[in-house]
Amino acid sequence: MLKRLYDWSMDRVARPSGEKWLAGLSFAEASFFPIPPDILLMPMIIADRSRAWRLALIATIASVIGAGLGYLIGHFLYEAVALPLIELYGYAEKFSAFEAYYAEYGVLIVLIGGLTPIPFKVITIASGVAGLDPLLFMLSCIPARAPRFFAEALLLWKFGPPIRAFVEKRLSLVFTLFVALLIGGFVALKFV
């Protein structure tokens, strides 16, 4: 079943409409959605390495724009939208301590948070709640997201065929590792 899903996904992401899905997922993940865009970015690059840089750029731009929405959610809709999202992800207790760090380390938190498996939407919403300077926030999102997506693009562009062979041979292992990293990112935030 996993192999059929993989084959179907590889066929879909190789199409031009895959870029729209990547942009949409990158945007949504930066503001409210729990699935990271890497789940599309990686197979898209593996399917067509010649588009690696374009795809990384699409993911970066959409993620930064989505971060702006996350900031607005935190800043203007904290009670109505942000607080329920924070509670849904189980971060309510840690959130007040997290806000205190923003007073001193706001930009650094955005920079580090954008490069780690910690869900970026939590960083963007917290930035809005804490009132981090909006221009400084948006500018810090670029170096927070671009290195992640372009590093993936570089590795997959350079080592694409062996990586694709590894993924296809050990699909269950790769899927399990991805799920573990995703869950690990949420768990890590509980200890921050």
Q: What 8-state DSSP symbol labels residue 78?
A: I
C-alpha distances (whole Å) from 115 to each of 140, 152, 156 are 12, 12, 17
Q: Return the pLDDT at 32.
A: 87
Amino acid identity of 57?
L
pTM: 0.78
Q: Return the pLDDT at 87.
A: 80
Q: Return the pLDDT at 189.
A: 56
Rounded average pLDDT per 10-residue block, the chain, 192 residues: 64 78 93 84 87 96 97 89 77 73 85 84 89 94 95 89 72 68 62 54
Instruction: Sketch the domain layout of the chain as residue ranges.
Output: 2-190
Nearest to 37 by CA among 28, 48, 49: 28
Task: Enumerate the H helices of 77-131 as residue ranges.
Answer: 83-88, 92-115, 120-130
Q: Return the pLDDT at 31.
A: 92
Token readout for 140 is: 């810090």
Q: Return the pLDDT at 187.
A: 64
